[in-house]
Chain A
Amino acid sequence: MRTDAWFAGLAVIVLAVLLATALVAATGASDGTESASEWTPDVPDIHDVDEPTEPSVATLDGDQFNSVQAALDAAQPGDTVVLEGTFEEHVTVETEGVTIAAAERDGAVIDGGGEGTIVTIEAPNVTLEGVWIRDTGHERRGEHAGVFVNGTGATVTDVRLTDVSFGVWINGVSDVTVEGSMIAGREDVFPFTDRGNGIHLWDADDAVLRDNYITTVRDGIYYSWAEGVLTENNTMWEMRYGVHYMYSNDNRLEGNVAANNDVGFALMVSENITLVDNVAANNDGTSAHGILLKDVERSEIRGNAVVANGNGFYIYNAQQNRLVDNLVLENRVGVHATAGSSGGVVAGNSFIENDEQAFATTTAQIAWNDSDRGNYWSDASAVDLDGDGTSEIRHRPAGTVEQLVHDRPQAAVFAESPAFDAVRLAESSFPVVESAGLIDHHPLTEPPHDNWRDYYANHDH
């Protein structure tokens, strides 16, 4: 009879199926949307270690001592003191070139009982290896450290430091190496400023910091007046600043990871820094910067990944820096430049899926590209007619509309509208419309990074 009813009937069936599926999907809990904010680095649990059960013995050339200090007092330069078991004491090393080593890693504990500095190195070329050092004094102004290094050329290897105010304090001596160590501060101390730093460099030239894991301290690695320092493959998480940097020139940071901190890398008032291949992820505390560059000059910031931070890069009055080949992914603001930062090169970076790709407070038009190569912008409409990998249409990552949305967040409700597209198109296509803000004359058509996918991999620890 009603031969035409098939159409509405089909619609009703489709709708019923859709609603049923949606209901199943909604009750099926897990959200299918991947987000880079789930990403975490692979880190060990520093507190997960077995208490040594052996009797406490310090061995020096076959002689056995029941305290570390007694063995050290008997040692000659170049001797090795081997430790087993738990010692409750504070140790000062005054003999040149001695080695203090646990019989096996974490097989010996030096417990400070909550008072003062635990191991003080006063002689040159001392080595500390495999020992577990815990429970320093609590006063944050007291410079209470797990290891206080006052002798040049010291080496701290595979050491575990727990319940410490400061981890390793390098006090005005050069050529110190800290490697393969784990440092955990006191998690229950707040605010962050009442804690000490993981590795504290004061006038510590030519130090090498490598393969360390640092967590729950104030700042993971703190530099002041330290030059020629090499910092590589360290991991810093759950603290205030992963790396904090004052008045320290000519240093290199490579392959470090700073995740889930207030700020990943806070580089301030320094010049000629090389910051390459580091990762700053999920730094979204009060300040929430992935990499902060404040008053930093003539530095190279290359190949880093800033992922899911508040500001990926926050650049404040930083001059003549090269910001190249970085991956800027899923931050609230990809790059925020302010206070007259100028004169550098910004090229070869991938700006992918940031809420606001880039923002600069400026009354001029700033070009973010090299002579023939700009950046990749995931939201740019790229047109490459001659096949050279760069678009012939310039891109305005921060033009009139973005400026407006930044100044008046209310405007965001209209920001995805066709009107917004029209203004953007006008700014990109017709050089007649010139407004202040950022511009990329040679946006890349393909992202120079393909490792962005790594940050969406599920990590189950």
Chain B
Amino acid sequence: MTLTNEYEGDLESVEPIDAAHADETTAASTATSKTVGRQVLVLAESEYRLAIRSRWAVALTGIFAAFALGLTTFSGASVSPEGFDRTVASLAVLAVYLVPLVALAFSYDAIVGREESGWLQTLFSLPVSRAWIVLGTALGRGAILASATIIGFGVAGGFLLLEFGLAGFDTYVAFLLSTVALGLAFLAFGVLLSTLAREKTHALGFALLAWAWFVLVHDLLALGILSAFDLPGTALSALLLANPTSVFRALVLGSLGAAGDAGFASVLAEAGLSPGVLLGALLAWIVVPIALAAVAIRRRRV
């Protein structure tokens, strides 16, 4: 385990870790916020390096670039004028399938996988609060996923820029940033599942179930509920906000101009779902699962 040794080296370099404060809670209470910040950063950096060296980073970038390029350049010429809005509309609809799946696949083993390799026990023995271990892990992997999304879709954006010119490019960048947020939301959810699962296979199973729920089942149920009952606007908002993919779709498609459905934007406005609310909801979908995971890991028995 040469990698492990290297990271231990990193952790030991964090100052000051006093051997007398080996007890976790004592360490947390005496350590200054600056120390905690450095601990989290070191943990995040170790996750980041591991992902680079295990080729995860390159693989993720490749997947996103191939997806975006394939959809934008090799798709047959459709019968309608081309432009960023229309490209973004089709990308947004299809990104809902791919990005959550990739994010969950990348994150489901973040905690439980480390436990099976014995690395987590090592970390737990160090005077670092468990909550910071979760946060560091999520930050490291999040940085990789966000970077991969930006590079992958950014390359496709470059080609689109050559094809369509400058006008309307801001729509594409807004879509790209929303996609980063969507990926991070599912990464956070994956980390939570990984913290709760006893075995790696369980985490994988939960992750796939979560994907099926959020991508397919939830909206189908919502459609059914909408057709069966006459719901007030708040119930509609709740249904929409309960699914990060729906929030993402509303955020991206709602912001489109001529290519978007006029009815779509007005429905969003009626339900009180302004871009600010949607953005806040997506951020909550990132922060809340990580916070829950940070709490849940205290109950974990190694």
What's the Cα separation between A370 and B143 when bound, in Å?
57
Mask: chain B, 117-145; 1 = CB below 8 Å from A; 0 = not: 00000000000000000000000000110
Q: Which residues of A contact B268 (CB under 8 A)?
A: 413
What's the Cα separation between A12 and B299 when bound, in Å?
37
Do the beta carbons of B216 and A21 come within 8 Å of each other? no
Is A35 positioned at the interface, with any CB of B under 8 Å from its CB? yes
Is B32 positioned at the interface, with any CB of A under 8 Å from its CB? no
Is B99 positioned at the interface, with any CB of A under 8 Å from its CB? no
Is A7 positioned at the interface, with any CB of B under 8 Å from its CB? yes
Q: Which residues of A contact B220 (CB under 8 A)?
A: 419, 422-423
Residue of B nearest to A353 (CB): B80
What's the Cα separation between A32 and B174 when bound, in Å?
15
CB A352 to nearest CB in B, in angstroms, measures 5
User: If the complex has contacts A7-B147, A25-B168, A412-B261, are A418 and B267 also in contact, measured as CB distance less than 8 A?
Assistant: no
Do the beta carbons of A15 and B154 come within 8 Å of each other? yes
Is A388 positioned at the interface, with any CB of B under 8 Å from its CB? no
Do the beta carbons of B167 and A412 come within 8 Å of each other? no
Do the beta carbons of B215 and A418 come within 8 Å of each other? yes
Q: Which residues of B contact A31 (CB under 8 A)?
A: 167-168, 257-258
Q: Which residues of A contact B170 (CB under 8 A)?
A: 22-23, 25-26
CB B140 to nearest CB in A, in angstroms, measures 10
Is A74 positioned at the interface, with any CB of B under 8 Å from its CB? no
Is A70 positioned at the interface, with any CB of B under 8 Å from its CB? no
Do the beta carbons of A410 and B166 come within 8 Å of each other? no
Do the beta carbons of A15 and B219 come within 8 Å of each other? no
Q: Which residues of A contact B258 (CB under 8 A)?
A: 31, 33-35, 37
Is B39 positioned at the interface, with any CB of A under 8 Å from its CB? no
CB B213 to nearest CB in A, in angstroms, measures 11
Mask: chain A, 364-394; 1 = CB below 8 Å from B; 0 = not: 0000000000001010000000000000000
Q: Which residues of A contact B236 (CB under 8 A)?
A: 410, 413
Do the beta carbons of A18 and B176 come within 8 Å of each other? yes
**B interface majority secondary structure:** helix
On chain B, the number of residues with a Cβ less than 8 Å from chain A's Cβ atoms is 70
Mask: chain B, 62-83; 1 = CB below 8 Å from A; 0 = not: 0000000000000000111101
Total A-B contacts with CB atoms under 8 angstroms apart? 166
Q: Which residues of B contact A12 (CB under 8 A)?
A: 147
Q: Which residues of B contact A7 (CB under 8 A)?
A: 52, 57, 144, 147
Do the beta carbons of B84 and A32 come within 8 Å of each other? yes
User: If the complex has contacts A22-B173, A355-B261, A447-B79, are A404 and B231 also in contact, measured as CB distance less than 8 A?
Assistant: no
CB B43 to nearest CB in A, in angstroms, measures 15
Q: Which residues of A contact B169 (CB under 8 A)?
A: 21-22, 25, 32
Do the beta carbons of B259 and A4 come within 8 Å of each other? no
Do the beta carbons of A413 and B264 come within 8 Å of each other? yes
Q: Which residues of A contact B202 (CB under 8 A)?
A: none
Question: Which among B174, B215, B226 is the interface contact of A414 at CB below 8 angstroms?
Answer: B226
Is B200 positioned at the interface, with any CB of A under 8 Å from its CB? no
Is B96 positioned at the interface, with any CB of A under 8 Å from its CB? yes
CB B229 to nearest CB in A, in angstroms, measures 10
Residue of A nearest to B90 (CB): A416
Do the beta carbons of A413 and B246 come within 8 Å of each other? yes
**Segment 6-38 of A: residues with Cβ below 8 Å from B:** 7-8, 10-12, 14-15, 17-19, 21-26, 28, 30-35, 37
Do the beta carbons of A34 and B267 come within 8 Å of each other? no
Residue of A nearest to B240 (CB): A413
Is B7 positioned at the interface, with any CB of A under 8 Å from its CB? no
Q: Which residues of A contact B166 (CB under 8 A)?
A: 21, 24-25, 28, 32
Mask: chain B, 248-271; 1 = CB below 8 Å from A; 0 = not: 011001000111011110111011
What's the Cα separation between A401 and B270 when bound, in Å?
21
CB B138 to nearest CB in A, in angstroms, measures 15
Is A78 positioned at the interface, with any CB of B under 8 Å from its CB? no
Do the beta carbons of B79 and A352 come within 8 Å of each other? yes
Q: Which residues of B contact A32 (CB under 8 A)?
A: 83-84, 164-169
Q: Which residues of A contact B226 (CB under 8 A)?
A: 404, 408, 410-411, 414
What's the Cα separation between A407 and B172 when bound, in Å?
32
What's the Cα separation between A168 and B53 when bound, in Å?
84
**Segment 446-461 of A: residues with Cβ below 8 Å from B:** 447, 452-453, 456
Do the beta carbons of B240 and A28 come within 8 Å of each other? no
Mask: chain A, 355-366; 1 = CB below 8 Å from B; 0 = not: 110000000000
Do the beta carbons of A452 and B96 come within 8 Å of each other? no
CB A5 to nearest CB in B, in angstroms, measures 9
Do the beta carbons of B267 and A409 come within 8 Å of each other? yes
Is B36 positioned at the interface, with any CB of A under 8 Å from its CB? no
Residue of A nearest to B144 (CB): A7
Q: Which residues of A contact B14 (CB under 8 A)?
A: none
Is B161 positioned at the interface, with any CB of A under 8 Å from its CB? yes
Is A53 positioned at the interface, with any CB of B under 8 Å from its CB? no
**Segment 224-248 of B: residues with Cβ below 8 Å from A:** 226-227, 230-231, 233, 236, 240, 245-246
Do the beta carbons of A34 and B176 come within 8 Å of each other? no
Is A417 positioned at the interface, with any CB of B under 8 Å from its CB? yes
Do the beta carbons of A414 and B219 come within 8 Å of each other? yes
Do the beta carbons of A18 and B81 come within 8 Å of each other? no
Is B189 positioned at the interface, with any CB of A under 8 Å from its CB? no
CB B210 to nearest CB in A, in angstroms, measures 15
Do the beta carbons of A423 and B223 come within 8 Å of each other? yes
CB A265 to nearest CB in B, in angstroms, measures 23
What's the Cα separation between A14 and B215 when bound, in Å?
29
Q: Which of A352, A410, A413 has the most chain B CB within a 10 Å cutoff?
A: A413
What's the Cα separation between A31 and B164 when bound, in Å?
12
Residue of B nearest to A411 (CB): B226
CB A223 to nearest CB in B, in angstroms, measures 33
Is B150 positioned at the interface, with any CB of A under 8 Å from its CB? yes
Is B151 positioned at the interface, with any CB of A under 8 Å from its CB? yes
Is A332 positioned at the interface, with any CB of B under 8 Å from its CB? yes
Is A65 positioned at the interface, with any CB of B under 8 Å from its CB? no
Residue of A nearest to B61 (CB): A7
CB A329 to nearest CB in B, in angstroms, measures 9
Q: Which residues of B contact A247 (CB under 8 A)?
A: none
Is A225 positioned at the interface, with any CB of B under 8 Å from its CB? no
CB A350 to nearest CB in B, in angstroms, measures 8
User: If the complex has contacts A22-B169, A35-B258, are A15 and B150 also in contact, measured as CB distance less than 8 A?
Assistant: yes
Q: Which residues of B contact A423 (CB under 8 A)?
A: 220, 223
Do the beta carbons of B96 and A28 come within 8 Å of each other? no
Is B108 positioned at the interface, with any CB of A under 8 Å from its CB? no
14 contacts between A and B (CB under 8 A): A8-B48, A15-B150, A18-B150, A19-B173, A22-B169, A25-B167, A25-B168, A34-B81, A401-B223, A412-B264, A413-B249, A414-B222, A422-B220, A423-B220
Complex A-B, nearest 3 residue pairs according to Cβ-Cβ distance, in ascending order: A32-B167, A11-B147, A32-B168
11 further A-B pairs in the complex, CB-CB below 8 A; given A14-B155, A405-B263, A422-B216? A26-B170, A31-B168, A31-B258, A33-B259, A34-B258, A412-B267, A414-B219, A417-B96, A417-B219, A419-B218, A423-B220
